[in-house]
Amino acid sequence: MACWHGYAKITSALLEAGANAQAQNEDGETPLHAACQRGHQECARVLLDGGRCDLDAQDRWSNTALHLAVKRRRAGAAMMLLHAGADFDLLNCVRKYFGHLGYRHTDIVKASLSSLAFTKRERARIHLHFEKFARPSIKLICHNFVATSCEY
């Protein structure tokens, strides 16, 4: 509940007291799922810094925290997860990965493509995820990104 409501200090105190960062609710969501889908980056950072949470844990619909962050347009949380090493190739139960869910959101596409933490190869893979399903404005962003910064 602390992560759902964005209480980073309480989350930190709970983890220090031995709380399970991998605890799941009835839908299989972990505290990281809750923090990221609600856009509580400070809580997500506490969980990630503690090193005791699985970035790629999947809920009962096989959504990761990254899927939920992108689906709910939480670009900051999505970027935090990508920087931490979240697997952007995982599919959920309806065979969608984060590119499917975020292809309509230009802020997430721009942030994902412009991240300096990724190698050119990783950025090219992220670009392909978005390019495949994008509307024209997203395709233009992807095209400009590849033309200026990626070598295949």
Tens-place pLDDT, residues 37-81: 999 999 999 999 987 889 999 999 999 998 898 888 888 888 888
Check whether residue 85 and residue 108 sit in a common domain: no
Check whether residue 3 and residue 50 sit in a common domain: yes
In a domain, residue 28? The reply is yes
Residue 118 per-residue DSSP state: S
Residues 128-144 have pLDDT tens digits of 666 555 555 455 545 55
Residue 97 per-residue DSSP state: -
Check whether residue 63 and residue 127 sit in a common domain: no
Task: Identify the CATH number of the domain in which residue 73 sits.
Answer: 1.25.40.20
Q: What ranges in the chain are assigned the alpha helix state H?
A: 2-5, 8-16, 31-37, 41-50, 65-71, 75-84, 98-102, 106-114, 120-133, 136-149
Residue finishing a domain among 90, 111, 143: 90
Q: Is the pLDDT of residue 149 over 80?
A: no
Q: Is the pLDDT of residue 1 over 80?
A: yes
Residue finishing a domain among 90, 125, 142: 90
Q: Which residue has tokens 């209480």?
A: 7
- Round the average pLDDT of the chain to a whole number and report it: 77
Check whether residue 15 and residue 82 sit in a common domain: yes
| pLDDT band for position 84 (cuts 50, 70, 90) | confident
Check whether residue 72 and residue 114 sit in a common domain: no
pLDDT for 136 equals 53
In a domain, residue 123? The reply is yes
In a domain, residue 98? The reply is no
Looking at the structure of the chain, the number of domains it has is: 2
| pLDDT band for position 87 (cuts 50, 70, 90) | confident
pLDDT for 58 equals 95
Domain ranges, residue 23: 1-90
pLDDT for 79 equals 82
pLDDT for 116 equals 46
In a domain, residue 65? The reply is yes
In a domain, residue 74? The reply is yes
**Portion of the chain with pLDDT greater than 90, in percent:** 40
CA-to-CA separations, 65 to 36, 54, 58, 137, 151, in angstroms, rounded? 6, 10, 8, 26, 30
